[in-house]
């Protein structure tokens, strides 16, 4: 899967928690993007690096009532975005029934991978939809390996 270049819709399961962290500067955040907390404490587009932890999925709502499908953040801006945390279906390359119970890692702002690389934040695959290539994970239940 490729990183997002447009807003997308996610399918959530059950109640979602909402958090409103500051987002990192100099990036574009699309509705539906998966964000992680970076080493500086900002929610940001994930990278293949250690010391990231899942923050949530961008709702498309930002501070001061701004609602947009894509929000471009300037070099000196740190606005707050509303993120949803909970069970969500996310793309998983080559999803198979045998992936249930496996560890998944956030590959980019749009998808999961079963390959850790340098990533240390771990999600457990709770279910898969093989036909659509999606895995159900709970962003609230992530842990660090």
Mean pLDDT lowest for which of 10-19, 38-47, 79-88, 93-102?
A: 38-47
Average pLDDT (57-75) is: 84
- The Cα 82–Cα 18 span in angstroms is 6
State the Cα–Cα distance between residues 9 and 111, nearest whole angstrom. 13
- For residue 3, pLDDT over 70 is answered with yes
Phi, psi angle pair for 65, to nearest 5°: 80, 5
Residue 71: band (very low, low, confident or very high) from pLDDT cuts 50, 70, 90: confident
Q: For all residues of the chain together, what is the average pLDDT?
A: 91
Q: What is the mean pLDDT of residues 22-35?
A: 93
Measured in whole angstroms, the distance separating CA 8 from the mean position of its chain's CA atoms is: 12
Tokens of 16: 């979602």
**Secondary structure in 3-state letters for 23-67:** ECCCEEEECCCEEEECCCCCEECCCCCCCCEEEEEEEEEEHHHCE
Percent of the chain with pLDDT over 90: 65
What are the residue boundaries of the structural domains of the chain, listed by start? 11-144
So what's the pLDDT on residue 59? 94
pTM score, two decimals? 0.91
Q: Is 119 helix (H, G, I), strand (E, B) or coil?
A: coil
Pair type for strands 121-124 and 112-113? unpaired
DSSP state of 120: -
Q: What is the pLDDT of residue 98?
A: 98
Could you give the CA distance from residue 4 to residue 53 in angstroms, rounded to a whole number?
A: 19
Q: Which of 55, 84, 59, 58 shows the shortest CA–CA distance to 142?
A: 55
């Amino acid at each position: 899967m490729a990183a997002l270049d447009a807003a997308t819709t996610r399918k959530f399961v059950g109640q979602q928690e909402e958090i409103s962290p500051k987002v990192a500067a100099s990036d574009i955040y699309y509705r539906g993007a998966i964000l992680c907390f970076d080493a500086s404490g900002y929610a940001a587009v994930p990278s293949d690096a250690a010391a990231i932890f899942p923050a949530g999925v961008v709702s498309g709502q930002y501070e001061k009532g701004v609602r947009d499908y894509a929000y471009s953040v300037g070099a000196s801006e740190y606005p707050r975005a509303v993120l949803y945390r909970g069970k969500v279906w996310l793309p998983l390359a080559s999803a198979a029934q045998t992936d249930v119970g496996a560890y998944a890692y956030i590959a980019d702002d749009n998808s999961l991978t079963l390959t850790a690389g340098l990533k240390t934040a771990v999600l457990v695959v709770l279910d898969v939809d093989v036909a659509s290539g999606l895995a159900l994970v709970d962003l609230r239940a992530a842990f660090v390996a």
